Amino acid sequence: MPYEQPQTQSTNLHHLRVGDFVVTTIQDAYLQGGFGLISNLDEATVQALHTASRRPTPPKITLNCYLVDTGDERILIDTGLGGLVGDEGARLGAGLAEMGLTFADIDRVMLTHAHPDHLGGLIDGDDNPAFPQAEIFVPAGELEFWRGAVPDDASEMLRNQFTNAQRVFDACAANLRAIETDAFMPGITRYPLPGHTPDHSGYRIESDGESLLIAADIVHLPQIQFPRPDAHIMFDTDPEQAVRSRQALFAEVAASGELIAGHHIDFPGIGHVVADGAGYRFLPHVWSPFV
């Protein structure tokens, strides 16, 4: 076959060793964003920050999932869009296949929260559980909120989020487990980050003196929310609480130097946070051919 110019990247995987564990970023989707997602900054400020980042316009949003291989178990942190979308996006299965894995090889699934782009991969297009062998762990406050009544004043977006969460939880009810304590298991600790959703959670991965804090949806538009951690995103259930969680986390990891990962930070979503004036900067992890 004659050579043709490449049209896609060759992989959507990145492996990082954390002590005796290996954490793999799997990019599930690359979604269209927009400046209007930031609800409390004026458009000129948002566009100036975006322009300074040298990113293409209109902005795009990365959607990552994280696979933690402890040597004994394979634990998937969030599942992407899955059965909630059609052919666009949802590349989690392709990423697992590239590693020689299937959904049946996943021992546990841990959700950071119950938004559609994090739990959709729990079901297939026919609403059957995609991980029939896996226990599915969800922060207790997320289960309580999303399985409850829809607030009377809920927006159409929030009503759709409730519909999707309940659809997925109903399909996977037999395997659902509530996370009631932060000490989840040896090497994995829940890190509460409320605000984006009521019990939005990160997970700290620790092994042999090394750590990585998977910080879930601490940012959606990193070029805006690192320099301006006070920026609200329209998906937040409690925007002011989300800002407090973001500012506290940024201050902590900027001081400690701990690596973080984010589900909406540009692939592979791993790096350091450093203070920069009144805000912060994200320093991407340096890629290596060796794990």
- Residue 56 buriedness (CB in 10 A; 0-12 / 13-18 / 19+): exposed
**Given this model, what pLDDT does residue 89 score?**
59
**Given this model, what pLDDT does residue 140 score?**
98
Per the domain annotation, does 268 fall within a domain?
Answer: yes
Helix runs in the chain, H state only: 43-53, 92-98, 116-119, 140-146, 156-171, 222-225, 239-256
Mean pLDDT value across residues 138-157: 97
Contact criterion met (CB below 8 Å) for 63 and 31: yes
Percent of the chain residues topping a pLDDT of 70: 98
Cross-strand bridge partners of residue 27: 64
- Residue 68 buriedness (CB in 10 A; 0-12 / 13-18 / 19+): buried
Beta strands per DSSP E along 186-248 = 188-192, 201-207, 210-214
Per the domain annotation, does 2 fall within a domain?
Answer: no
Contacting residues for 1 by C-beta, under 8 A, at least 6 apart: none
Cross-strand bridge partners of residue 109: 76, 136
Residues 15, 287: Cα–Cα separation, whole Å: 9
Residue 110 sits in which domain range? 13-283
Per the domain annotation, does 79 fall within a domain?
Answer: yes
**Given this model, what pLDDT does residue 130 score?**
96
| Domain total in the chain | 1
Give pLDDT tens digits for 219-255: 999 999 999 999 999 999 999 999 999 999 999 999 9
Give pLDDT tens digits for 184-219: 999 999 999 999 999 999 999 999 999 999 999 999
Quick check: pTM over 0.75? yes
Per the domain annotation, does 5 fall within a domain?
Answer: no
Nearest Cα to Cα of residue 201 among 211, 213, 212, 209:
213
Per the domain annotation, does 144 fall within a domain?
Answer: yes
Residues 89, 121: Cα–Cα separation, whole Å: 11
CATH of residue 62's domain is 3.60.15.10
Per the domain annotation, does 263 fall within a domain?
Answer: yes
Per the domain annotation, does 254 fall within a domain?
Answer: yes
Per the domain annotation, does 289 fall within a domain?
Answer: no
